[in-house]
């Protein structure tokens, strides 16, 4: 890994082509942290974040019924439609802009499969909960492209945070029982956004969504500068801030839109 620094912000890039990746025919997947057959001792977790997979699943395929415990599991839908079914009786078809969270707690079984005749592209994100042995819960939220346009909006936030409600469906961020907040934006070319870190010693992770297509060998598509480091689609960056009030700057220096996720983590 290489790193760079701007002011008191340290950035450690995570190039897309260095992520774990696999092509199973029905599933094309990238793993930012250890998952399935991908193992690297440097990438076990980052704070409460444990999994960030970027998945593409072909029509009529998906993940059959399987079980989870003690993870907060959420899906961020990029394109296509994803059908969710679980042991609590939830059945839902999710589309672009949807964020769905399963708080597995003491245990839940679910399946996720492509709905319709188009490939589904989504990010599967897992975090470890702050409190164990909680009852399972299920939440969905929807965020439009217009809401994200050139603004960082909170799409996931800890239970008890401002504007977070405990309804199954509703407005505001999706509630999570982990110390992680997920911000999302669609940056227009030539646009800069600044994000102020919540405290001294804060950590963040930035991911540029691979919207222009699956490419396991090299980064392509949108180009985003993050505190002086250049990221392309699929790339990420670990960010370490020394001081309260430090700002992370996201700049779209390419000629097309860039969809970017930013995680504040503990």
Structural contact between residues 150 and 105, judged by C-beta atoms closer than 8 angstroms: no
* Confidence (pLDDT) at 7: 61
- Please indicate if the annotation marks 247 as binding a ligand: no
Rounded CA separation 63/85 (Å): 11
What is the token pair recorded at 223?
């180009």
DSSP letter at 147 equals: H
Rounded CA separation 215/18 (Å): 12
Q: Which tens digit of pLDDT belongs to each residue from 97-117?
A: 999 999 999 999 999 999 999
DSSP letter at 35 equals: B
Q: Which tens digit of pLDDT belongs to each residue from 26-82?
A: 999 999 999 999 999 999 999 999 999 999 999 999 999 999 999 999 999 999 999
Could you please state the CATH topology (level 3) that the domain comprising 9-265 is classified under. Answer: Jelly Rolls (2.60.120)
Name the percent of the chain lying above pLDDT 90. 91
Rounded CA separation 260/233 (Å): 9
* Confidence (pLDDT) at 228: 84
Give the 3-state secondary structure of residue 142.
Answer: strand
Pair type for strands 174-176 and 153-158: parallel
pLDDT at residue 125 is higher than 50: yes
- Please indicate if the annotation marks 142 as binding a ligand: no
Nearest to 34 by CA among 53, 14, 15, 48: 53
Rounded CA separation 198/243 (Å): 9
Sorted by where each begins, the domain ranges of the chain are: 9-265
Q: Which tens digit of pLDDT belongs to each residue from 82-93?
A: 999 999 999 999
Rounded CA separation 114/124 (Å): 14
Q: Which tens digit of pLDDT belongs to each residue from 167-200?
A: 999 999 999 999 999 999 999 999 999 999 999 9
What is the token pair recorded at 81?
């439609």
């Amino acid at each position: 890994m290489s790193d760079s620094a701007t002011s008191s912000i340290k950035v450690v890039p995570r190039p897309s082509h260095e992520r774990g990746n696999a092509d199973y025919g029905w599933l094309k997947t990238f793993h930012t942290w250890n998952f399935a057959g991908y193992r690297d001792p440097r990438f076990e977790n980052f704070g409460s974040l444990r999994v960030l997979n970027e998945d593409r699943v072909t029509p009529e395929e998906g993940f059959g019924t399987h079980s989870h415990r003690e993870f907060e599991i959420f899906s961020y839908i990029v394109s296509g439609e994803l059908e969710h079914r679980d042991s609590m009786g939830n059945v839902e078809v999710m589309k672009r802009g949807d964020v769905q969270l399963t708080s597995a707690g003491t245990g839940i079984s679910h399946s996720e499969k492509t709905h319709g005749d188009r490939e589904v592209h989504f990010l599967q994100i897992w975090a470890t909960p702050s409190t164990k042995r909680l009852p399972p819960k299920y939440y969905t939220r929807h965020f439009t492209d217009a809401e994200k346009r050139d603004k960082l909006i909170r799409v996931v936030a800890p239970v008890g945070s401002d504007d977070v409600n405990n309804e199954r469906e509703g407005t505001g961020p999706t509630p999570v029982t982990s110390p992680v907040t997920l911000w999302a934006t669609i940056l227009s070319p030539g646009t800069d956004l600044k994000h102020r870190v919540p405290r001294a010693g804060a950590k963040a992770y930035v991911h540029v969504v691979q919207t222009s297509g699956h490419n396991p060998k090299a980064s392509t598509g949108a180009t985003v500068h993050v505190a002086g480091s250049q990221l392309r689609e699929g790339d990420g960056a670990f960010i370490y801030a020394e001081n309260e009030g430090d700002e992370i700057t996201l700049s779209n220096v390419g000629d097309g839109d860039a969809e970017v996720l930013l995680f504040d983590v503990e």
